[in-house]
Chains A and B, each alone.
Chain A
């Protein structure tokens, strides 16, 4: 059953559910925080339109810095601007930032403790036809390992807008992960959002497994849970937008009820959301866990749906993982 407290889109399971790219919410959010706070600056590495920073650039040209194809510089310049009191948002494809400029992010932003917001768009295999070179499926791992970095992976465009607004007010380095393709709008403006808080989106009467998902695949987790519920397999679905810091209470409360866990992410299973959950559970409440995600492979060309299916990350892949974890003794 959909958790009514989450105030989700009432047309969630309709065939004509509204579909919007997650990255669009960032574009809208940045414009909103730019209007509210003069200290917001935007920096982009030659991808202003596709990362949706263009709306901020057009409204506030004096606060927009075009960096060019220079991602190391993107991070370092943002750190310097933050040192002078600015709140910089830097955007590129996740493959290039944080993919290419990890050391600059670690040293000039996190070690320096400058509140730079790194926005990695086109993450996951869902960027599709561009192929494996452009499919960032390692970014959560390399960001969450750096001390101080907050890692947020919104499930839809509305949540991405809220995450952008919250990140602007959060005086720490933040990584926001976005996706390119249109995906269903899951939440509404009334859905609660807070950095560091996970939300239960779905809970069956007798849940036997906790499905913890992030990003666009939260939708697949919900449709899988609905189908499983119809087959008599109850579950709890948690939307884990903030991967770091983890909302330990919400996760442990659910796992105490269900015992078993399936994690779902458009990312390598090594080092990502699933690993973060396993690290928590190993210490606090050891549980059987199945990992839905990419298993030590690179991506390839295809449509979003084809690739999700290929990597067993779609609805059927999640259903299979749930059945597998329930069968484990």
Chain B
């Protein structure tokens, strides 16, 4: 990871904005898919793919790359957009999302898009796979491995016992190279998480499984980067970054509304969203105006 200068922070924020625009473009074209989660995670994906990750988009099978496991596969528009902007595949291909024959399947499938680490969609299975990767790396490289396994999860899927099983195993094995990031946006399909199934006290749960827990503002690029630095510095435990995010972030009309969990914008809504994103919320003039 390079030093995070003020210029780099600005560049990452602009990347996040590009990713958000692509998400709206993709969902409008696909006419189905999820809006709130992808927009809310754009800052984290920008920071990962353009700052934190050790990876080479031109050589996606590079052996020493960090691994990214997206557990909540339904937010794949943000993953696809980040990967395309990073150079894994052409940005134009994003508009094939969810179309017949597209490499960008409705939920990620690594056989269609081999640069993905895993296929995902059914919730709560990502952490187990990430734990398996970290265990395998520990067998091969020992406990000083610098290869990091990132697992991105939603807060809703934390309700599943499968997450608890994987969380306990990672804590038991002190997987220092495992970094979890939870999108704590407080919504799921049926409503607010604390109404559907309360997760709080959430930090305590992860601490109880012997994880190092870091709470951050998931839209603050410096926070995100610092948290990853801190996670890498903790040797005796896996780290969980609980990223508080605003679902639908970047488009005022979509923000904090769980109704936007699982539907795409229509034409008018997409235009409104893109206008807002292209002017950075009215801060600058859009080139399209």
Contacts and interface: CB of A to CB of B under 8 A. Distances in A.
Interface of A: 41, 62-63, 65, 67-68, 70, 72-73, 75-86, 88, 103-104, 107-108, 111-113
B165 interface: yes
Interface stretch (B7-15, B119-127, B203-211): B119-127
A80 B140 contact: no
Interface in B137-165: 137, 139-140, 161-162, 165
Size bin of chain B's contact surface: 20 to 34
A88 B132 CA distance: 10
A62 B110 CA distance: 29
Contacts of B165: 67-68, 70, 72-73
B193 interface: no
Q: Which of the listed residues A63, A76, A108 has the most CB atoms from chain B within 10 Å of its own CB?
A: A76
Contact of A83 (B109, B125, B129): B129
A88 B137 CA distance: 14
A75 B128 contact: yes
A103 B162 CA distance: 11
A108 B109 CA distance: 10
A77 to B, nearest CB: 4
B168 A70 contact: yes
Nearest to B147: A84
A210 to B, nearest CB: 38
B169 A80 contact: no
A104 B133 CA distance: 16
A76 B118 CA distance: 11
Given A76-B127, A79-B129, A81-B133, 18 more contacts: A67-B169, A72-B165, A73-B131, A78-B132, A79-B128, A80-B118, A80-B133, A81-B136, A82-B132, A84-B133, A84-B136, A104-B128, A104-B162, A107-B119, A107-B121, A111-B119, A112-B118, A112-B119
Interface of A is mostly: helix
Nearest to A76: B128
15 contacts: A65-B135, A68-B165, A68-B169, A70-B165, A70-B169, A73-B165, A77-B131, A79-B128, A79-B132, A80-B129, A81-B132, A81-B135, A84-B132, A107-B121, A111-B119
B226 interface: no
B130 interface: yes
A198 to B, nearest CB: 30
Interface string B67-90: 101000000000000000000000
Contacts of A79: 118, 128-129, 132
A67 B169 CA distance: 7
Contact of A68 (B122, B136, B137, B168): B168
A246 to B, nearest CB: 24
Given A80-B133, A84-B140, A86-B136, A72 B128 contact: yes
Interface string B184-200: 00000000000000000
A103 B125 CA distance: 9
Nearest to B129: A80
Contacts of B136: 41, 80-81, 83-86
Nearest to A104: B125
B162 A72 contact: yes
Nearest to A112: B119
B111 interface: yes
B117 interface: yes
A86 B134 CA distance: 12
Given A67-B169, A72-B161, A73-B165, A80 B132 contact: yes
Contacts of B118: 79-80, 83, 108, 112
Contacts of B162: 72-73, 76, 104
